[in-house]
Structure 1
Amino acid sequence: MSLMPEPGYLYAFLCEMADKGRLFAQRRNDAFACRVASDLPVAVLADFHYLRQVIFTLLGNAAKFTRDGSILFEVSKIADEAGGARLLFAVTDSGTGCSPGLAAVRQLLRGMGSALKLEPAAGGGSRSSFELVLPRVDENTLDAAFAESLPSCVDGAGRRILLVDDDSADLAWLGELLAGYGFEVMSVPGGREALQALRTGRFDLLLCDQAMPGMDGWKLLRQARAGWPDLPVVLYSAAPLRRPPGAEGLDFDAALLRPAAGDDLLACIDACARPWPGLK
């Protein structure tokens, strides 16, 4: 095998794996759960093709030996390493147990510098797991890719969107995408600039990132709720919601995991960006 590592968004990849595992489980009437730690690297360098094959095989194998039971997919961080992180991937089922084979999975993992561990699960069933060191990459270096299945029924005419992100590339392609559907778009690089824009103009939706220098997405949300309580605020982030202390009861109107499919992104914005009377 020849590895071809490429940079990519880790949480979006794991979300894809969880969706596939859920489908496997449904076919066997199994309950499915996914537990992904909130402290994983947002963007990593990996051979996602081979890693996808390994995880799909383990999830499919768990479903094969489990009926009317449960399957759990877990990903956690064991430790930070120089330039990356050591992660633990595990699939646990309540079934009759799998064979000690899985030669293809073992070969793929060996090529990635890892090894498969098979063991009985507490309470019955089996647990398959492996550790993998994935280098971190700068999120700003990733291409802003999205699915090309874009709907033609979205009409943004008459609606103004305020985009907030410290990544200029993401601001550019989001702005171009929304402008192509008739939305009027204003882009700013941070929370303070966003508040200034809200004070001087009227907007029908605020879309922001979660991790931004100076004022993060949660601080911006709090300020927006205080000054413009009717303004819809949508989170578009490469990491799942990471609610900071003191943000209990504070919620975005919607949250999308980056990179979202183009049709999902447009549908969310179309649904949330309704003209709201009385905005300050």
Structure 2
Amino acid sequence: MAGDTQQDFRVHVAKTLAATGADWCWIDMEHTACSPSLLVEIIQAIIYESGGKTIPVVRVPSKTSFEYMTWCLNAGAGGIVVPHIETEEDVAKLVGACRYPPVGHRSVAPFTFIPGITDTTPEGETLYSITNRHVAIIPQIESRAGVENVEMIMGNKNVDMIMVGGRDLRLDMGLPGLSGNEPEYRRVTERIISAAKANNMPLMAYTPDDRVFKRRLQEGFTALMVSADFPTLALGTMADLKKAKGIVEQHLRGEI
């Protein structure tokens, strides 16, 4: 009973977020476990409820979660974020799992393509060539090793965007908090930004507050996560309570 209720809640959260007009919706499988069938339901709920306007982007559990990558893409996810990418080999394996031949070795799902109905394409194109161009592969850089190889990672022509995991990168460097201006942190950040400019590579990041949001904009980040369900629920409720208590105090003072 509890499990069913929890699953229903997650799908309702996805439906609610899909109705907000967001460009994309992040589904985190690295830190929040759910069944593959529930994951597919969440992805499809976002697509349906938004009328295809909100793109589901899934962070899979690990860089070896190839089955999750396939399930997400078959369900309609528009992007795959893969944590802890550190080497060219990591990227090559990721591309292999997420791209159809001849680029990769992603298998064709027999239930997704119906001859004469869902397989029509412009002349000179196939479903596979179109899909290869419209699914974003997003390695996550969150360690010193990843930064050391960031130029080679971005140099792979099948990488579409880079997610910068600021909190984990700082943790790996022995630095506190989500953000900061320590010289060593600025050096690695500037290296990532410089490599992105050299490769015309979009950058993605989580921005927990206006200060970080403005900084990331100035640094050239273009895919910014501005809200997360749990913090938004907690902080939104706290703000409503503070406002309500203020009104009550005005009432008790006879001001309203």
Relative to the length of structure 1, the TM-score reads 0.29
TM-score normalised to structure 2 length:
0.31
Greater percentage in helix: 2
